[in-house]
Amino acid sequence: MKKHSIDLKDTNQFSSFFLDYIDGKAELRPFYRHLPKIESFQKAIEEKGFNNEKRKILCQSLKEQYQGIELFDIEASQIETLGDSKTFTVTTGHQLNLFTGPLYFIYKIVSTIRLAEELKVAYPDYHFVPVYWMATEDHDFDEINYFKLDGKKYQWKSEQTGAVGDFELGKDFKEFLKSVPFAAEVFKNAYSSSTTLKEAARKYVHELFGEKGLLIVDGHDASLKALFKEVMKADLFDHTPYKEAILKTESLESLGYSGQIFPREINFFYLDNSTRERIEQHGEEYVVLNTNLKFSKDELESLIEESPEKFSPNVVLRPLYQEMILPNLAYLGGPAEVVYWLQLKGVFDLFDVPYPVLLPRNFALVINPLTKQKMEQLGWSPNGLFQDFNAWKKDYVASHALEDIELSAEREVLSKLFEERGNSSAELEKSLSASFEAAKVRSLKILDQMSKKLRKAEERRQHITLERVDAIDEMIKPGGSPQERVVNMMQFYLEDPEFIMKLYPLFDPLDFRMMVLEA
């Protein structure tokens, strides 16, 4: 594949908040610890205290999580290496979207793997393990129960509730699987041999990325949650994380930035079987919403000690949980993720947990040969893919029309005629000036209507060029959204099984530009 790099500002796809962060705007410096640069990692390594006991728990947990999967040699080695004090992780996370969901799932992981490789070159005395944080505890099924391919939406419907990772792949899923006979074998094998959604996701991510040394971490684990008990108690009983998150959020808002997440006094869900519901304090009781469950403070403290896995952090505390159970140096996320992490530095400081290097994942747009051909016919460079297509079409039609479709000369003559006669007639009777002005407005509206008819006629005459533009538009912005946020990876993988492998030499996690890739 051939790569073209374009400044993110020129794509018109990113918020000023996100762009200000990657540009290093001074006003945002109090909201993170390290600049998003390779040089920042030396200090991040020095600050990351992660004791051997935590490493042992993490290694044992990973071995148990990978039970039933035949590991690649490098995966087994990575797990063992995590026990070494000179080994660190770099992490990305994502929901369990069906068949990986949109393309950016792939981009996140490739970016993370590439970061680990670049860090090894820059800091050869240390080892770096790329990690995919599997969001098994999320319960918003509607966000993950589909994928889109060739403009069609394929959706699994289920009545199950609770954490989506525990959703069973029963009869309804097997019927859904029959509706996608074209699916790549890596997905068919993973889903057909698994009993739950998280088991299937682990299998296909392992097959796609395991040989690159990626490890998959499921935070829904009793031994790992036990390391988070201090935070559970502080949040449930003292609400201190809420106070810190609110302070940072208000500070950002005072600078004109809008918060992306909304902290609550209690930032944990109760998680058990098919239930993942918010916990709220009502007087002296702690209530699990939409259930009959109620706890006293003493009962809740006992539950934390005995079953910490029943407490699931929301978006405010999940980043902290991740950093407390991993020897992690960097988090790679999308634009919205990067922004909401900036609301959380106070929470990290509260628990004396080092704040990681915060990096955006790589961004990419893949254009196929047919799209490239249409671009050449239009005389477009890759930069042209991010212009306002409607404005371009309007200008193009006007400049290539057989005659002036704006009727500019006619407007000028008509305006001048009514204005001159209006002025001269005012000497006869003052009210006539207003009458001529009103007549001018009505006449110009008639010309507007005729101009629209001329434009429509020209659009029909120039339809081949305009259809090329529409085809490009649908390829790069299906349904009006960027390709990487809509299209499934199979759009390219089915035609080229080496698609993912070809991304590695092109991705640079420290180059914050949009890539246009010619497939």
DSSP characters over 196-219: BHHHHHHHHHHHHHGGGT-EEEES
What was the pLDDT predicted at 432?
A: 86
- Which residue from 87, 84, 80, 75 is spatially nearest to 60, judged by alpha carbons? 80
Mean pLDDT of the chain: 95
Same domain, 98 and 138: yes
Contact status, residue 137 vs residue 163, Cβ threshold 8 Å: yes
* Number of CB atoms found within 10 A of residue 301's CB: 16
Considering the domain boundaries, does residue 184 fall inside one?
yes
Contact status, residue 499 vs residue 493, Cβ threshold 8 Å: yes
Q: Tokens at residue 28, please? A: 């945002």
Same domain, 86 and 195: yes
The least confident of 212-216, 374-378, 452-456 is: 452-456
427, pLDDT greater than 80: no
**Directed axis angle between helix 389-399 and helix 431-461, to 10°?**
100
Same domain, 412 and 348: no
Residue 347 vs residue 409, higher pLDDT: 347
Considering the domain boundaries, does residue 52 fall inside one?
yes
Contact status, residue 72 vs residue 211, Cβ threshold 8 Å: yes
Same domain, 341 and 211: yes
CA distances, 77 to each of 60, 83, 195, 342, 504 (Å):
13, 10, 27, 34, 21
Considering the domain boundaries, does residue 300 fall inside one?
no
Considering the domain boundaries, does residue 403 fall inside one?
yes
Same domain, 347 and 386: no
Residue with tokens 């200090």: 43
pLDDT more than 70, % of the chain:
100
Considering the domain boundaries, does residue 131 fall inside one?
yes
d(CA 4, CA 7): 10
The least confident of 66-75, 393-402, 500-509 is: 393-402
In 495-514, which positions are buried (b, 16+ CB within 10 angstroms) versus exposed (e)?
eeeebbeebeebbbbbebbb
Same domain, 175 and 209: yes
Considering the domain boundaries, does residue 8 fall inside one?
yes
Same domain, 346 and 444: no
What was the pLDDT predicted at 353?
A: 97
**pLDDT tens digits for range 283-295:** 999 999 999 999 9
What average pLDDT does range 449-457 have in this prediction? 87
Considering the domain boundaries, does residue 352 fall inside one?
yes
What average pLDDT does range 131-140 have in this prediction? 96
Same domain, 378 and 395: yes
The least confident of 221-225, 423-427, 445-449 is: 423-427
What was the pLDDT predicted at 255?
A: 97
Contact status, residue 447 vs residue 418, Cβ threshold 8 Å: no
d(CA 261, CA 116): 29
Same domain, 26 and 98: yes
Contact status, residue 71 vs residue 469, Cβ threshold 8 Å: no
Considering the domain boundaries, does residue 243 fall inside one?
no
pTM of the model: 0.92
In the chain, the largest separation of any two C-alpha atoms, in whole Å, equals 100
**What are the start-end ranges of the E strands in 319-375?**
328-333, 357-360, 363-367
- Which residue from 345, 355, 381, 340 is spatially nearest to 472, judged by alpha carbons? 381
What was the pLDDT predicted at 406?
A: 84
d(CA 336, CA 505): 26
Q: How many residues does the chain have?
A: 519
Residue with tokens 């008509």: 414
d(CA 66, CA 2): 37
Same domain, 327 and 398: no
d(CA 367, CA 371): 6
Proportion of the chain in helix, strand, coil states, percent, rounded to 5:
55, 15, 30
| Phi-psi domain of 480 (left: phi exceeds 0; alpha: psi -120 through 50; beta: other) | left
Same domain, 320 and 467: no
407, pLDDT greater than 90: no
122, pLDDT greater than 90: yes
504, pLDDT greater than 90: yes
d(CA 356, CA 40): 10
CA distances, 271 to each of 225, 268, 277 (Å):
12, 9, 7
Question: Domain span at residue 449?
Answer: 370-478
d(CA 219, CA 317): 12
CA dihedral over 161, 162, 168, 174, signed as positive or negative: positive
Q: Tokens at residue 346, please? A: 């106070």
DSSP classification of residue 289? T
What was the pLDDT predicted at 433?
A: 87
**What are the start-end ranges of the E strands in 209-355?**
215-218, 268-272, 275-282, 285-288, 294-295, 311-313, 328-333
Same domain, 336 and 383: no
**pLDDT tens digits for range 16-51:** 999 999 999 999 999 999 999 999 999 999 999 899
Secondary element (H or E) of residue 390: helix 389-399
Phi, psi angles (nearest 5°) of residue 5: -110, 135
What average pLDDT does range 164-191 have in this prediction? 96
Count up the domains in the chain and report the number. 2
The least confident of 285-299, 346-360, 427-441 is: 427-441
428, pLDDT greater than 90: no
Q: Angle 347-348-349 (CA atoms, 0-180°, nearest 5)?
A: 90
